[in-house]
Amino acid sequence: MAISHESELIDGLTEALAEAKRKQHKVLFSEVVEVDNINPLSFYRAGREDYLGERFFWQDPAKEMIIAGLGKAEKVQAAAHRLRFNDVEHSWEALTGSAIKTGILQKNGTGPLLFGGFSFDHKKNGSSLWDQFGDNLFYIPTFMLSIVNGQGYLTTNLICSPEDHIQLFMKMINERDTLLNGAVISEPGKREIMEQREIAPEHWKDTVATAIEEIKKTDLQKLVLAREMRLVFKDPVYSEQVLENLSREQKESFIFSLEVGSDCFVGASPERLIKKTGSEMFSTCLAGSIARGKDKQEDDMLGNTLLHDQKNLIEHQYVVSMIEQAIKSVCHSVDIPRQPMLMKNRHIQHLYTPVKGKCDESVSIFHVMEKLHPTPALGGLPQEKAVRRIREMEQLERGFYAGPIGWADSYGNGEFAVAIRSALLQGKEASLFAGCGIVEDSTPESEYIETSIKFKPMLSALGGMLHE
């Protein structure tokens, strides 16, 4: 299946090459065509042989946007400092400002697109677990399949340098056709777990007790503390298999993966940080948790308990106040319900307040992210103090866990989730992360149980043991 309109493609590429030569600078070329009947996970899987270590996947809960990216036309990475959101945005603007685009234009989530994430804390250093990721990392994929409200689009992105020649790119276009014609990829065998281990649970409970004392005695109001679980498998884990399981089991969540070399960060987060479509903006306040019931009656009872539980309502309200303030500072109108509702996921239920706003189209999603991250759902309150105390007290290396992960297109649209319910896959090993909001009325034991529930989505997708 040769899908490209050859002449349009060649014209566009020729223009991009000429522009690169004229400017003596690289120029991004991007072509978008409509495609039908390509399953995004099959596309992702088909890229295993040739693009392993440079793939990503994204799916929102409503499946309005599913994106699978293969290969790396370009990488964007900012230095680890306070201005990292701004720096990524500027690199992105420099690339898209001079980009040459052909085919279908102006379609949300197609054409030049940046996918990646930011670590939780740019000041935390010395992380060996996450060294392949750095502080932040974004790809502009070479080949990308976007399913936008059910319609498929294939984007091809290429960076043209002044010294490049058109032949170089025609070879890649042939590779794309091979990929679309269905590279045959072997199915991985059944996963066997050799070891499942919680990291220092007793020490973590002691840290929670210390945090509770500090909250009682100082101006610290909320602190989110996370812990880690490690799995060891008989054979290396394939991210496509994990994505398939997550996609089947966590229908209410954002499913994502980001491969970097031999590592892959993967997860199913129920929490949107920010979505921007034109002048519409959306965010989510999610904090306060309880288990699902065995049957409808118990489930309703637990949900009702959560809706009226003072400890959880306070934990939630901190998040609402902060997000409301941040969104109001960039929007001219904001809509936030006064009472939280329930969000029910397969293994857990949460207090949930959706946030909607209207903003100028020109508002940058990176700017809003900088205002929001980290919300008190993942950091605490007051924000700066909480992040510092997490840096000092937590044993694990959060890396990209609890940071923003998602995409931004060249038209100013994008969506980022908070990368929770996630795991870092490293060959035959996986590190899982789960945290919870500590407030004055927390107890170490109940927070321990809450984090145990939060491991379940990833444990289930990885074939681990779900302790009841």
Ligand X SMILES: C=C(O[C@@H]1C=C(C(=O)O)C=C[C@H]1O)C(=O)O
List, by residue number, the catalytic residues: 222, 271
- Nearer to ligand X by Cβ, of 9 and 418: the residue is 418
Place of tokens 């500027």: 90
By the rule CB under 6 A, 454 interacts with ligand X: yes
**Alpha-carbon span 285 to 287, nearest angstrom:** 7
Which conformational region is residue 233 in: left (phi greater than 0), alpha (psi within -120 to 50 degrees), or beta? beta
Which phi and psi (to 5°) does residue 112 adopt? -60, 130
- From the list 274, 278, 275, 306, the residue with the least C-alpha distance to 293 is 306
Contact (CB, 8 A) for 131 and 399: no
**How is 228-281 classified by DSSP, letter by letter?**
EEEEEESSPPPHHHHHHHHHHH-TTSEEEEEEETTEEEEEEE--EEEEEETTEE
Among 17, 377, 423, 424, binds ligand X (CB under 6 A): 377
Under 8 Å CB-to-CB from 457, ≥6 apart: which residues?
246, 249, 250, 253, 267, 268, 345, 346, 347, 421
Q: Does 447 appear as a known binding residue?
A: no
Element housing 310 (H / E):
helix 310-328
Q: Whole-number minimum distance, CB 312 to Mg ion, in Å?
A: 7
**Alpha-carbon span 225 to 395, nearest angstrom:** 10
Q: Does 440 appear as a known binding residue?
A: no
Contact (CB, 8 A) for 117 and 258: yes
**Alpha-carbon span 168 to 142, nearest angstrom:** 14
Residue 338's CB: how many other CB atoms inside 10 A?
6
Among 288, 380, 403, 404, binds ligand X (CB under 6 A): 288
By the rule CB under 6 A, 331 interacts with ligand X: no
By the rule CB under 6 A, 345 interacts with ligand X: no
By the rule CB under 6 A, 437 interacts with ligand X: yes
Site string for ligand X, 52-71 (x = CB under 6 A): --------------------
Three-state DSSP state, 76: strand
Contact (CB, 8 A) for 241 and 206: no
By the rule CB under 6 A, 224 interacts with ligand X: yes
By the rule CB under 5 A, 436 interacts with Mg ion: yes
Q: How far is CA 4 from CA 68, 104, 173, 237, 280, in A?
A: 19, 12, 9, 34, 33
- Nearer to ligand X by Cβ, of 173 and 285: the residue is 285
By the rule CB under 6 A, 101 interacts with ligand X: no
Site string for Mg ion, 254-293 (x = CB under 5 A): -----------------------------------x----
Q: Which does 378 bind (CB under 5 to 8 A by kind): Mg ion, ligand X, none?
A: ligand X
Q: Whole-number minimum distance, CB 296 to ligand X, in Å?
A: 23
By the rule CB under 6 A, 271 interacts with ligand X: yes
Among 141, 437, 444, 464, binds Mg ion (CB under 5 A): 437
Give the number of residues in contact with ligand X, rule: CB under 6 A. Answer: 17
By the rule CB under 5 A, 453 interacts with Mg ion: no
By the rule CB under 6 A, 378 interacts with ligand X: yes
Among 48, 124, 191, 421, binds ligand X (CB under 6 A): 421
Residue 339's CB: how many other CB atoms inside 10 A?
8
Based on its alpha-carbon atoms, the radius of gyration of the chain, rounded to whole angstroms, reads 22
Q: Whole-number minimum distance, CB 77 to ligand X, in Å?
A: 25
Q: Which does 331 bind (CB under 5 to 8 A by kind): ligand X, Mg ion, none?
A: none
By the rule CB under 6 A, 286 interacts with ligand X: yes
Q: Which does 380 bind (CB under 5 to 8 A by kind): ligand X, Mg ion, none?
A: none
By the rule CB under 5 A, 349 interacts with Mg ion: no
Binding site for ligand X (CB under 6 A): 224, 226, 271, 286-289, 350, 377-378, 420-421, 434-437, 454
Binding site for Mg ion (CB under 5 A): 289, 436-437
